Structure 1
């Protein structure tokens, strides 16, 4: 069975049945849900702040999974299955997405989903043999939002964006959660999409979805990029500055942006998300060149990379056991003035 697909911003869903595809819109019955909501757990392996550190994911039943491939893109709650809600927290037309948090706000370690490793754990990025930490560019300290990715999306490096003429960066699409809660690496939250920024990183398309944790006290009042601009003066400008300058202390040029650095609206963001979801589907079903991407999963039907729970468990148990954290260089706390 195929997971839910977002087709357009008017909240239309597609599901596959034995009799064929059927369209459901918001004027029809509630969308058909294919799986019950899961609470995800994490398991640390290796030593924090070292190259062997990994955060693996598993379900509430203890089954190891890939956060890239096995966590659904669209968040489904128990209430949408069988329990009538006492009070709706969102409008019927609001679609919430699962976000895998890689980097908590205010932290510096560049944690990311390891797309080229089995089960795609979170690890710290390494460049030239050194662990990567983002620089603190005044007045910012570390990441200024909870930073992560939407599961079951992929920016295809063989796909050229019609607007920017750039190819994808070979990763899941990135998300900036502007909520007030400081999350933890590996936390899976439900977010409401507000807009998107077209960042161009060394010639590659690197979309940045702007979203807010659905449980945030301000989530109900923030429904668009314009809402963010009005209620949080300077936040969007700070986001542009951060992405433009964060690599400069490492000797890299400033990043560039499509659309003259303007944030695109929610409808545009949903189209991009849908496109990257379709690219992911082709990837995990071996309909496109996966290159070095590891597509091992335990739940994606029609995927030749699907494995059993025992095999997934073997992947995790082969990793080093969790140990004490390594020291972090004081250089990580240095402030850079550009």
Structure 2
């Protein structure tokens, strides 16, 4: 039997209770000031702080609490949003049904953009950075008719696809990253934004022999969220979207000289219940990771809130670490090659 998921209480400790938590819709207010962007949500408040130069290898987006304490988006943002309390009474939100559960999603890449931004899993505090390969910044190609990423792309915090674990269905090990999310709503998000999403289904991509799950979800605040509750709703209400998603993931590395990606289940999407079970499993693997119960695979596990974790360090230590990063500077120009069309 699967153990219950562990979530962060108001004291920052890990507590049991996956089944007892339900999501609460978020309202995001973006307030820009210099290099700091404040995302105020109904249930939580996070700030992001830019360091380095955008479009350069030194660019980083760090995360902070509303009090200004630096945190890891990988380890310190809970998988399931915490309840907001006012005068001792939990906040309420309209739910489609009593079993609806929302998940926090950390947005790494806005829809239609090309820079391959990602949580830096092997750096302390796990800021968002642009991936680098062979000394060059990585951009996904525009594969006709698509422009960049075709959804808001990101990850679920407090999940980990364990490279030591072989999935019973795909027969492949995990890819050593948080589980990926394709948010298919109508709103374009920003890098570092934390939103609450409804899970609709999941796709099993096999990337160079590793299991790389792709959760299909929608922002709970999206105007279309009330109409999309499972993968069949997506198929009916967004004709061609799921097929485009498979096509995108199959071909996006081909312009780089790589072979097409493969898929488990013959490229068919699994339903919401299956997706939630995969999320539970990856959360269990993350818990073992931060409690040093498994081989870390090179993952940086420093955090500021996880009880029973040998990697917890103080807010002062976290601040000192961020201050070592270069200050925010001017945006560097992108190569014209980023806008090139590819026909594959």
TM-score normalised according to structure 2 size:
0.88
| Counterparts of 1:90 and 1:231, CA distance in 2 | 17
Report the counterpart of residue 33 of structure 2 in structure 1: none
Contact preservation (8 Å) 1:199, 1:258: yes
Tell me the distance in 2 between the aligned counterparts of 1:180 and 1:22: 34
- By how many angstroms is 1:86 displaced? 6.5
Alignment-derived partner of residue 190 in structure 1 = 196
Alignment of 1:73-222 (within 5 A): 73-78=79-84, 82-83=88-89, 85=91, 88-222=94-228
Q: Is 1:307 aligned to 2:297, yes or no?
A: no
Deviation at 1:93, TM superposition (A): 1.5
Deviation digits for residues 272-328 of structure 1, max 9, x if unmatched? 000000000000000001131100000000000000000000111110000001110
Number of residue pairs aligned between Structure 1 and Structure 2: 319
Counterpart residue number, 1:18: none
Alignment match, 1:291: 297
Residue equivalent to 1:5: 5
Say if 1:295 and 1:305, in contact at 8 Å, map to a contact too. Answer: yes
| RMSD across aligned positions (CA) | 2.3
Q: TM-score, length-normalised on structure 1?
A: 0.90
Deviation at 1:83, TM superposition (A): 3.7
Asked if the contact 2:143–2:252 (Cα under 8 Å) also holds between the matched residues in 1, the reply is yes
Q: Using a 3 Å threshold, how does the CA distance of structure 1 residues 137 and 287 change in structure 2: closer, same or farther?
A: same
**Cα distance in 1, alignment partners of residues 16 and 335 from structure 2:** 56
Equivalence map 1:246-325=2 (5 Å): 246-325=252-331
Secondary structure of 1:40's counterpart equals: strand
| Contact 2:176–2:297 (Cα < 8 Å) also in 1 | no
Between the aligned partners of 2:157 and 2:53, the Cα distance in structure 1 is 25
Q: CA deviation at 1:218?
A: 1.0
- Flag structure 1 segments of 5+ consecutive residues without an equivalent: 7-12, 16-20
Deviation, 1:38, is: 2.0
Contact 1:65 1:312 in 2 (8 A): yes
Alpha-carbon distance, 1:82 to partner:
3.9
Partner of 1:10: none
Deviation at 1:90, TM superposition (A): 4.3
Find the aligned partners of 1:322 and 1:87 in 2 and give their Cα distance. 38
- 8 A contact 2:71–2:318 mirrored in 1: yes
Maintained 8 Å contact 1:68/1:115:
yes
Question: Where do residues 221-232 of structure 1 align in structure 2 (5 Å cutoff)?
Answer: 221-232=227-238
Q: Check whether the contact 1:44–1:53 (CA below 8 A) recurs between aligned residues.
A: yes
Task: Output the CA distance in 2 between the equivalents of 1:173 and 1:320.
Answer: 29
1:337 Cα deviation from its structure 2 partner: 0.8
The 8 Å contact of residues 111 and 124 in structure 1, kept in 2 or not, is answered as yes
Task: Give the whole-Å Cα distance in 1 for the aligned partners of 2:110 and 2:172.
Answer: 29
Give, in angstroms, the shift of residue 37 of structure 1: 3.4
Is 1:327 aligned with 2:333?
yes
- Answer whether contact 2:204 2:265 (CA < 8 A) is retained: yes
